[in-house]
Structure 1
Amino acid sequence: MHGFLHRPESVPVAILALTHGAGSDCDTVLLRAVADGFAAAGVQVLRFDLAFRVRRASGPPHPSRAAEDRAGIAEVIAAVRSDYSVPGPVLLGGHSYGGRQASMMAAENPGLVDGLVLLSYPLHPPKKPEKLRTEHLPDLNTPTVVVHGSKDEFATTEEIQAALDQVPAATRLVEFEGARHDLSVVKFPVVEATVAAASALFVF
């Protein structure tokens, strides 16, 4: 496992394992900013690389090995639970591909985590709305926050809301008008709104 740990100044009220998208690693501007924001709110955050990124420094994940990325996520959560004892919820989050794999892992393993924070969920490939990635959502019994930009080419806001309507657990959609898939933290208050939505839904 490769990652970075953000420790809050006080006793942690929750812990968040946070991972990246297909074209990057865990050391992105977005993930660093979100991790710092949660840490400021008292949440201990582990930013970590997915298995495909541990194997090689560049290049996208291969669809045939996505199960390995999910297995790696499960290993990270197991390590978090054993190594870091916190009184509050254990959360799992990810940007784009990382968020999709996190949600699939949670659907396959009810109770794995107490909540999900999905940044720019890639509902379908750009310009291919017929190829929805929603098969697992009716089995997702984990409360979920989704952070979405209205100009994200991977889904419209209406498509995201329709997808969340399939989730039997509590959900909260945070939308930024004009934001794209990268969720620019310079242009939009992504960090503040994400932390606020998560703290309200997951109660920490």
Structure 2
Amino acid sequence: MHTLINGPENSPICLFAHGAGAPMDSDFMEAVAQGVGEKGIKVVRFEFPYMQERRETGKKRPPNRQPELLACFKELVDSQQGDVYLMGKSMGGRMASILAAEHSELPIQQVFALGYPFHPLNKPEKLRVDHFPNMSCAMTIYQGQRDKLGDQGLVESLVLPTNIEVAWLEDGDHDLKPRVKSGYTHDEHIQTVINDIAGKIHASYASKNGEQ
């Protein structure tokens, strides 16, 4: 499995999964990984099999079936030493949350989802939240208010478990990008997410080590 690593060794480990359409070295993935890495966290990016195949052949492939995606993610978790934090863009965040829900034995400390796909495009009745109650760790979802896969109106109508926090990005779309008229910039929203994720990971890591 090919990986890209940002941040120092001997620091908290955050495994970062890409979304359905863009690879691990997309501009969005690069900005977040570099930003979190610069805050003293080892960020490990990887690609699911279909995306790796696309990289090797140049031919677009649809995402693998969910069991294959989860098996790939779990393989990376298993290869690490000790506790891990999971982070994912869109589909990657969804797979991270399902992995945490289905494998409570894994040393997953927290999950971070950047643009969670609460439902398929234009199908708000097909919600993807059934596994949320099975997650024992904390999860933070960073969601644009205008996200077409789960906007603020829809998400706030849901009753989510208390260990799941939704952090709203003003006027953001599925990539957390706001419109110019909002007064915010994409870079500002990404930096907000980076700061929050790094803060949560360092606080969790310090608390865990303090108990030991």
Question: Structures share a fold, TM > 0.5?
Answer: yes
Residue of structure 1 in register with 2:88 after alignment: 94
Deviation at 1:102, TM superposition (A): 1.1
Query: Which stretches of structure 1, 4 residues or longer, exceed 4 Å deviation after superposition?
Result: none
- For normalisation by structure 1, the TM-score amounts to 0.84
Tell me the percent identity: 29
Aligned partner of 2:31 in structure 1 is: 33
Return the letter of the residue paired with 2:171.
G
**Equivalent residue letter for 1:160:** V
Name the SS of the counterpart of 1:17 in structure 2.
strand
Residue-by-residue CA offset, 1:94-130 (whole Å, 9 max, x unaligned) = 1111111111111001142111110100000122110
For 1:110-189, list aligned pairs within 5 A.
110-112=104-106, 113-163=108-158, 165-168=159-162, 170-184=163-177, 187-189=186-188
Distance 1:172 1:197, change over 3 A: farther
Instruction: Kindly report which structure 2 residues correspond to 1:18-97, keeping only aligned pairs within 5 A, or say none.
Output: 18-57=16-55, 58-62=60-64, 65-81=65-81, 89-97=83-91
Kindly indicate whether the alpha-carbon contact (under 8 Å) linking 1:107 and 1:139 is maintained by their aligned counterparts in 2. Answer: yes
- TM-score of the superposed pair, with normalisation by structure 2: 0.81
Q: Contact 2:18 / 2:24 at 8 angstroms: preserved in 1?
A: yes
Distance 2:110 2:187 in 1: 24
**1:58-106 deviations in whole A, cap 9, x for unaligned?**
23214xx22111000000111122xxx6xxx521111111111111111
- 8 Å contact 2:41–2:198 — kept in the other structure? no
How far residue 160 of structure 1 moved from its aligned partner, in angstroms, is 2.9
DSSP 3-state at the match of 1:189: helix
- Decide which moves more: 119-128 or 191-200: 191-200
> CA–CA distance in 2 between the matches of 1:140 and 1:198?
18
Amino acid paired to 1:153: K
- Amino acid corresponding to residue 140 of structure 2 in structure 1: V
Secondary structure at the aligned position of 1:102 is classed as helix
CA contact (8 A) 1:52 1:61 kept: yes
> CA separation of 1:80/1:159 partners in 2, compared to 1, >3 Å: closer, same or farther?
farther
Ranges in structure 1 where 5+ consecutive residues have no aligned partner: none
Q: Which has the higher contact order (CA 8 A, sep 6+)?
A: 1
Number of aligned residue pairs: 192
